[in-house]
Amino acid sequence: MSYPKSGNTWVRFLLANLIHPNETVGFANINRLLPAPGVLSKRFLKKLPRPRILKSHEPFDVRFQKVIYLVRDPRDVAVSEYHFDLKKRYIAADMTLEQFIKPFLAGTTSSYGSWWEHAASWIGPRYGNPSFLLARYEDLLADPVGETAKIAQFLGIKADEERLKTAVARSSADTMRKLEQQQADKWTGTKNTVKEIPFVRAAKSGGWKESLPRHSVEEIEVAWFPLMNFLGYELQARQLDSKAMPVWSKTGQPS
């Protein structure tokens, strides 16, 4: 699970390469190798052997009993979603990133609501539960093998270091970019979109520092300070009155 543009497709490739080491994973077959509800038919999903490993952007749903929640710095999410929405023609081609921030904060740029609403819907009720794994995109970037090992262990997948390294290498940003160039017309996420805008972009953390205007950074941080602080994202805003902000405790509940 993740809010859109949080690295979900990358982790999807990591898991597919880990689970299917003898197959060549690509955009043309990722829907089959690691399915997503809403993209595939109910008939196909019902035929999958259990336990099923699925990819989804759904907000909290009690029916998902064992969940990996992937979270990413919302400032980077904003930049990534802006370019994705341009690619998918969800927003006007002349809309600026600065103009995009207000509807992004309001949760109107995504059918899944805002980043805050989505992340809090999962972290609030499930944080600390042994059937819930919180994974940060930034940690995966910093130590892809080590973090993938944690995910594999959580899912009960036995994988030695060589298998982990192979899955990471086959899911690298460069590999995914090449696959996108070859298979963009064969995947639901990139088919019939603006080809000049890539789906796999920088694939890094902290890109917001170069893209977001200062006041846009402050808007995001002031709006979502408690959860960003809880998740360990360093804040840049000059004026954040912590006394006026609710505290997000380590139990995952605001107080």
Q: What DSSP designation does 71 have?
A: E
Taking only the tens place, the pLDDT of each residue in 142-189 is 999 999 999 999 999 999 999 999 999 999 988 888 877 787 677 676
State phi, psi for 93 to the nearest 5 degrees. -65, -25
The pLDDT mean for the chain works out to 88
Dig out the tokens for 194 from the structure.
């603006």
Residue type, 80: S
- pLDDT, position 177: 84
Residue 46 has pLDDT above 80, yes or no: yes
Average pLDDT over residues 38-53: 87
Q: Could you say which DSSP state residue 11 is in?
A: H
Given 3.40.50.2030, 3.40.640.10, 3.40.50.300, 3.50.30.30, which CATH number is that of 8-244? 3.40.50.300
Residue 188 three-state SS: coil
For residues 193 and 217, give the distance between their C-alpha atoms in angstroms, rounded to a whole number: 28
Euclidean distance between CA atoms 78 and 4, whole angstroms: 10
The DSSP output letter for 37 is B
Mean pLDDT value of segment 224-231: 94
List pLDDT tens digits, range 101-123: 999 999 999 999 999 999 999 99
Residue with tokens 């019939």: 192
* Cβ atoms within 10 Å, residue 102: 12
- E strand or H helix at 229: helix 214-230
Share of the chain above pLDDT 90, in %: 65
Residue 73 pLDDT grade (very low, low, confident, very high; cuts 50, 70, 90): very high
Going from N- to C-terminal start, the domains of the chain cover 8-244
Residue 251 predicted with pLDDT over 80: no
